[in-house]
């Protein structure tokens, strides 16, 4: 393949890894820390505590909630500039530095992106494992 294809695949791998790291926390956190108080959908009188963990939540969240989720994902994708990390920067570099991890040292940045890549790969496997367990046993 060519350089653009490699950078594109690396960018997508990092993006999927980031999503799976969030998904892994989304699976684990409600079990450990509990759920938000209050209503997920006041019009449907649906509490956050009424939403089960895992795959069972897919059917419980109202359509308006899914529209908000997809809309936010689209906003994140569009506002980041499709392929901007490939054409203008390095894959995974979305053009902003988190306050705690900011710095301009290229060696540190490369080391952190490599760690993020490894952690993202692990999170992808963890997410698939949790999906499989949930689908097979019915418990998240």
For the stretch 34-74, pLDDT in tens is 888 999 888 889 998 888 888 888 889 999 999 999 999 89
Report the alpha-carbon distance of residue 47 to residue 35 in Å, rounded. 10
pLDDT the model gives residue 21: 93
How far apart CA 86 and CA 124 sit, in angstroms, is 22
Residue with tokens 């993020």: 116
Query: What does the alpha-carbon distance between residue 97 and residue 9 come to, in Å, rounded to a whole number?
Result: 22
pLDDT score for 135:
85
Please tell me the predicted confidence (pLDDT) of residue 93.
72
The pTM assigned to this predicted structure is: 0.80
Model pLDDT, residue 125: 95
CB of 37 within 8 A of CB of 48? yes
CB-CB contact of 116 with 137 (8 Å): no
Comparing CA positions, the residue from 54, 59, 3, 8 lying closest to residue 31 is: 54
Q: What is the pLDDT of residue 140?
A: 62
Give percent of the chain with pLDDT exceeding 90.
Answer: 26
All residue ranges of the chain with pLDDT < 70 are 95, 98-103, 140
Q: Which residues contact 19 (CB under 8 A, 6 or more apart)?
A: none
Confirm if 123 and 28 have CB atoms less than 8 A apart.
no
Q: Is 79 left (phi over 0), alpha (psi -120 to 50) or beta?
A: alpha
Rg (CA), the chain: 18
């Amino acid at each position: 393949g060519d350089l653009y294809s490699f950078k594109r695949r690396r960018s997508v791998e990092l993006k999927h890894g980031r999503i799976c790291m969030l998904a892994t926390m989304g699976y684990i956190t409600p079990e450990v820390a509990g759920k938000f108080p209050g209503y997920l959908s006041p019009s449907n009188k649906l509490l956050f505590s009424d939403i089960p963990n895992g795959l069972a939540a897919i059917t419980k969240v109202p359509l308006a909630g899914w529209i908000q989720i997809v809309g936010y994902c689209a906003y994140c994708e569009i506002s980041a500039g499709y392929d901007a990390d490939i054409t203008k920067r390095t894959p995974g570099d979305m053009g902003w530095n988190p306050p705690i991890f900011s710095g301009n040292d290229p060696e540190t940045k490369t080391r952190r992106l490599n760690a993020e890549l490894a952690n993202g790969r692990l999170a992808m496997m963890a997410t698939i494992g949790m999906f499989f367990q949930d689908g097979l046993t019915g418990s998240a």
